Amino acid sequence: MDEITIPQNQTATASTSAMQPIVHAPKRRKWKYFFGGLLILFVGVVAWVGISGALALKNITAKNSGDQSSFFRFEGAVPPDQLKGEGDGRINVLLAGIGGAGHPGGQLADTIQIFSLDPINKTYSLLSLPRDLYVTIPKNGKSKINAVYANGALYCKGLNACDPKVDQGGAALKATVASVLDTPIHYFIRIDFRGFEKIVDTLGGIQIYVERPLNDPLFPDEQLRGFDPLFIPAGLQTMNGRRALKYARSRQSTSDFDRARRQQQVLVALRKKLLAAGTLANPKKITDLINILGAHLKTDLQPGELSTLFTLIKEVDESKTITKVLDTSNGSPLRSSNDPQAGYIIFPKKGPNDFGEVQEFVRTVFQEPYIIKEAARLVIENGSNSVPLGESLERKLRSLGYNITEVKTVSAQSASVINYYNNDKPYTLALLKKRLKLAATKAKAPESLSADLVIRIGNNFILN
């Protein structure tokens, strides 16, 4: 594996993850799909709590460090000429899973995911980020992404804005991920391992039917210094919190598909137990759940937003869910290496600071809801005398979810413009004007052209 050298002026912050205890134990990805599914469960619990006792949420909710809420910027409520920015049609929630108090990793993020809800088409996407991704923290140098939450106080000091009502770890991680992926991050939710275990135990355990034996002799122990072998026989099993968490996290002798299926089993069993009449009718259990959430979960979603999010999630078409992972596999825009200061790191194949291909991949996962809904047919007419420019424009627009029906070369022209033939694709047109920085002209549609909009690019066109 090749080594890279980090510029000297960055090495001071490159090893910020070392500020927290790091134990080089058996490496494995944890909660890749499971944590995203847990969002639905936890949001449901918190939303219920918000209805029954809003005061109990004071330990859970923090002030949102970003712009105003992204809610209600959809369903036609935002005129095309007042779009707040790319991505505002989606609700993006950053999910961070940490070891928590008593865990060797402390506040280091073991799992980082983005849960992106499309409330218009009623779908969601889940994107997993590698914990060793080497990133630039706004105004605070470079670091592994897993250390950003733990060192949030350094981030806010760099901005001279340490608001005590803001969870600085969540704010730093939101800003970093948004910058690296060129994607707006509206909210964050952070939970720890112990919280999940306690919830399962409070509910009296869960029952899961194990289709075939699961044997994992290399499951890491709690101190990440050795192994805590796991064996679960086939058949109906009653699992406490620790066993359920290990069942969901284990990767030995199975694929990610098998792991995702097991995690879905856990979620179904947990949700069933949570919604059982005996649980909701038991004041002590409800009180215990509230206390667990207060001690192990933090979010900048406010009570009303949690309730709204839960309502939207219930309407999602699960069959259209998109789950993606950023890793170093073939075809991925990432690679791995070893750095003298930071150790094992993952970074873009084009270089540590070139996230262009990563951002293009992310755009294919989090496509604009308005573009999907309107399904406008686009034709690109290239009059720039540059075939690669037309190809680059097509590739970018396709990654953004636009339906390109044809790309053709036309006689050279200097001006660039978007022609549209009716007014029934307003959001698509508004976003194109903003992204391409082009004027739009209404024209009479030629009989031979089957398109809603035509993008004519000339010699003056610049693709950003």
Q: Do 291 and 423 fall into the same domain?
A: no
Task: Look at residue 409 in the predicted model and tell me its pLDDT.
Answer: 92
User: Cα(first)–Cα(last) distance of the chain, in Å?
Assistant: 33
Distance CA 154, CA 148 (A): 9
Q: Do 169 and 54 fall into the same domain?
A: yes
Q: Do 418 and 306 fall into the same domain?
A: no
pLDDT band at 43 (very low <50, low <70, confident <90, very high): low
Task: Please give the distance of CA 369 from its chain centroid, rounded to a whole number.
Answer: 16
Is 262 part of any domain? no
- Judged by DSSP in three states, 170 sits in helix
Per-residue pLDDT for 274 more than 90? no
Give pLDDT tens digits for 396-447. 899 888 999 999 999 988 889 999 988 889 889 988 998 899 999 998 877 7
Is 264 part of any domain? no
Is 337 part of any domain? yes
Higher-scoring residue by pLDDT: 174, 164: 174
Higher-scoring residue by pLDDT: 310, 178: 178
Q: Do 128 and 182 fall into the same domain?
A: yes
Question: 317-321, 334-338, 382-386, 455-459 — which is least confidently predicted?
Answer: 317-321
Per-residue pLDDT for 46 more than 60? no
Burial 104-125, CB ≥16 within 10 A → b, else e: bbbbbbbbbbbbbbbbbbebbb
Q: At which residue do the structure tokens 């094992």 appear? A: 344
Whether the Cβ atoms of residue 439 and residue 372 lie closer than 8 Å to each other: no
Q: Do 333 and 419 fall into the same domain?
A: no
**Segments forming the whole domain that contains residue 394:** 375-457
Task: Look at residue 52 in the predicted model and tell me its pLDDT.
Answer: 47
Higher-scoring residue by pLDDT: 321, 41: 321
Q: Do 453 and 320 fall into the same domain?
A: no
CATH code of the domain covering residue 37: 3.30.420.590
Q: Which of 324, 345, 365 is the last residue in one of the domains?
A: 365
> Phi first, then psi: what are they for 438, rounded to 5°?
-125, 150
Task: Look at residue 128 in the predicted model and tell me its pLDDT.
Answer: 81
Whether the Cβ atoms of residue 247 and residue 267 lie closer than 8 Å to each other: no
Distance CA 176, CA 419 (A): 38
Question: Token pair for residue 380?
Answer: 């690109």
Per-residue pLDDT for 75 more than 60? no
Name, in order, each residue with C-beta under 8 angstroms of 416's C-beta and a sequence gap of 6 or more.
Answer: 436, 438, 455, 456, 457, 458, 460, 461
Q: Which of 365, 400, 415 is the last residue in one of the domains?
A: 365
CATH code of the domain covering residue 429: 3.30.70.2390
Q: Do 380 and 440 fall into the same domain?
A: yes
Q: Do 162 and 82 fall into the same domain?
A: yes
- Judged by DSSP in three states, 31 sits in coil
Is 246 part of any domain? no
Task: Look at residue 404 in the predicted model and tell me its pLDDT.
Answer: 95
Burial 66-82, CB ≥16 within 10 A → b, else e: beebbbebbeeebebee
Q: Do 66 and 123 fall into the same domain?
A: yes
Is 217 part of any domain? no
pLDDT band at 390 (very low <50, low <70, confident <90, very high): very high
The most confident of 26-30, 143-147, 297-301, 447-451, by mean pLDDT: 143-147
Is 128 part of any domain? yes
Q: Which of 310, 345, 365 is the last residue in one of the domains?
A: 365
Q: Do 46 and 79 fall into the same domain?
A: yes
The whole-model pTM stands at 0.74
Per-residue pLDDT for 453 more than 90? yes
Per-residue pLDDT for 12 more than 60? no
Is 220 part of any domain? no
Number of domains in the chain: 2
Question: Half-sphere exposure of residue 62, counting CA atoms within 13 Å on the CB side?
Answer: 20
Q: If you average pLDDT over every residue of the chain, what do you get?
A: 77
Task: Look at residue 17 in the predicted model and tell me its pLDDT.
Answer: 39
Per-residue pLDDT for 51 more than 50? no
> Phi first, then psi: what are they for 214, rounded to 5°?
-115, 115
Q: Do 390 and 308 fall into the same domain?
A: no
Question: 79-88, 401-410, 453-462 — which is least confidently predicted?
Answer: 79-88
Q: Do 397 and 359 fall into the same domain?
A: no
Per-residue pLDDT for 124 more than 80? yes
Sequential DSSP letters for 307-375: HHHHHHHHT--GGG-EEEE--SSTT-SEEEEEETTTEEEEEETT-TT--HHHHHHHHHHS--HHHHHH-
Task: Identify the burial level of 85 via C-beta atoms within 10 angstroms of its C-beta, where 0-12 means exposed, 13-18 middle and 19 or more buried.
Answer: exposed
